[in-house]
């Protein structure tokens, strides 16, 4: 038995050494790192949260320039849109941000992504992390949150173990990133090899926020958009219960800290938009706008039209239209504040 225990410990030794090595390396940048860094030094005025659609559609520097011209003062804006992120992750990260730098977040406006005006209706009893990306939540998850994560979230046991291990071990997060890189880059390399004689297409997409810009990635994304939209059109149920939604929790929190929440619609292709422009969803939108007003938050109507050719993968706006959309968003926001156009 002693021999077995010794052998087992020896077997685990490389993992222990790897963990030790990782602890001496700087941590991989957390996707809220920019916000954390800026909030350390000065007031953060605007944060944009949501998926990779937000990451692709908003140029925070351009927004800052426009807002500064309109408001007559320096502003700081950070785009926190991230592919495969969930509202649960954003909410926990925002709460952590406020915990660390409350003095520089008083009065901050949080722009929350919506699809055709309706935000995510997820609750704490649904999925907290996107499968395959459990490492996004680890830096923001406190010990009490971890307990709730296990009890309430519908994520798989594998994801829950990864996240829990990630709280203790750098190795867990590193291993998840390695695995993801292996699969993404492996598939890209294999696809390129198999289709090496086929003409390559260049896509006007930024790879920021985790967006894939290779042929296989874009093709897969287009197919997924069509499938998801078709699935969403079948058996639609009304979205009316916002009391228990994470977005309500976020709004309450931000408002209590003296901040403001603004709901804005990211541009959608006709494929994605089809599921969100049905009569039922229009009714849901009207209902949500009333709820948002009752919460003291703002729902923006952004005057921006984009044909499907502006969405190379049917999900995200092309780079060359980023500033157009940012301009439209800024205008809509400033008009809602009764301010002049930038």
Task: List, in order, residues 6 or more apart from 328 with CB less than 8 Å away.
Answer: 302, 303, 304
Rounded to the nearest whole angstrom, what is the least distance from the CB of residue 103 to other proteins in the complex? 42
Instruction: Say how far apart CA 256 and CA 253 lie, in whole Å.
Output: 5
| Window 47-66: contact mask with other proteins (x via CB under 8 A) | --------------------
Instruction: Say how far apart CA 77 and CA 38 lie, in whole Å.
Output: 9
Residue 264 gets which letter from DSSP? Answer: E
Task: List, in order, residues 6 or more apart from 243 with CB less than 8 Å away.
Answer: none
Rounded to the nearest whole angstrom, what is the least distance from the CB of residue 217 to other proteins in the complex? 10
> How far is CA 9 from its chain centroid?
40
Rounded to the nearest whole angstrom, what is the least distance from the CB of residue 213 to other proteins in the complex? 16
| Window 173-212: contact mask with other proteins (x via CB under 8 A) | --x--xx--xx--xx--xx--xx-----------------
Beta-bridged to residue 113, according to DSSP, are 264
Using CB under 8 A, which residues numbered 222 to 241 contact other proteins? Answer: 223
Nearest residue (CB) to other proteins, 10 versus 144: 10
Give the SS3 label for residue 285: helix
Is there a contact between 49 and 81 (Cβ–Cβ < 8 Å)? yes
Rounded to the nearest whole angstrom, what is the least distance from the CB of residue 195 to other proteins in the complex? 7
Instruction: Say how far apart CA 186 and CA 191 lie, in whole Å.
Output: 8
Nearest residue (CB) to other proteins, 55 versus 134: 134
Is there a contact between 48 and 60 (Cβ–Cβ < 8 Å)? yes
Nearest residue (CB) to other proteins, 160 versus 277: 160
Question: Which single residue is written with the structure tokens 């998850």?
Answer: 141
Using CB under 8 A, which residues numbered 80 to 139 contact other proteins? Answer: 131
Rounded to the nearest whole angstrom, what is the least distance from the CB of residue 96 to other proteins in the complex? 27
Q: Binding of other proteins at residue 158 (CB under 8 A)?
A: yes
Nearest residue (CB) to other proteins, 147 versus 182: 182
Is there a contact between 1 and 59 (Cβ–Cβ < 8 Å)? no
Rounded to the nearest whole angstrom, what is the least distance from the CB of residue 125 to other proteins in the complex? 18
Q: Could you tell me the two tokens for 19?
A: 């963990």
Binding-site ranges for other proteins (CB under 8 A) = 1, 3-4, 7, 11, 14, 131, 156-158, 175, 178-179, 182-183, 186-187, 190-191, 194-195, 216, 219-220, 223
């Amino acid at each position: 038995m002693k021999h077995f225990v010794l052998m087992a410990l020896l077997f685990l030794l490389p993992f222990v050494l790897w963990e030790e090595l990782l602890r001496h390396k700087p941590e991989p940048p957390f996707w809220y790192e920019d916000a954390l860094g800026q909030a350390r030094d000065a007031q953060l005025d605007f944060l944009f949260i949501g998926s990779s659609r937000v990451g692709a559609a908003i140029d925070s520097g351009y927004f800052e320039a426009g807002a500064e011209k309109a408001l007559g003062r320096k502003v700081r804006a950070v785009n926190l849109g991230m592919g495969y992120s969930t509202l649960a992750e954003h909410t926990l990260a925002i709460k952590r941000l406020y915990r660390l730098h409350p003095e520089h977040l008083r009065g901050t406006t949080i722009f929350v992504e919506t699809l055709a005006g309706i935000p995510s209706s997820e609750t704490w009893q649904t999925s907290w992390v996107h499968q395959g990306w459990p490492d996004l939540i680890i830096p923001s998850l406190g010990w009490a949150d971890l307990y709730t994560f296990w009890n309430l979230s519908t994520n798989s046991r594998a994801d829950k173990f990864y996240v829990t291990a990630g709280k203790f071990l750098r190795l867990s997060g590193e291993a998840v990133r390695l695995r993801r890189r292996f699969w993404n880059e492996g598939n890209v390399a294999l696809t390129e090899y198999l289709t090496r004689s086929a003409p390559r297409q260049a896509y006007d997409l930024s790879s920021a926020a985790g967006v894939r810009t290779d042929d296989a990635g874009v093709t897969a994304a287009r197919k997924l958009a069509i499938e998801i939209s078709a699935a969403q059109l079948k058996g639609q149920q009304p979205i009316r219960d916002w009391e228990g939604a994470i977005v309500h929790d976020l709004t309450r929190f931000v408002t209590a800290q003296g901040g403001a929440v603004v709901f804005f619609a990211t541009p959608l292709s006709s494929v994605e938009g089809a599921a969100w422009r049905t009569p039922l969803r229009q009714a849901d939108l009207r209902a949500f706008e009333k709820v948002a007003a009752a919460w003291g938050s703002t729902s923006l109507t952004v005057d921006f039209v984009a044909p499907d050719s502006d969405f190379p993968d049917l999900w995200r706006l092309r780079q060359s239209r980023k500033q157009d959309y940012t301009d439209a968003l800024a205008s809509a926001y400033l008009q809602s504040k009764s301010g002049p156009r930038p």
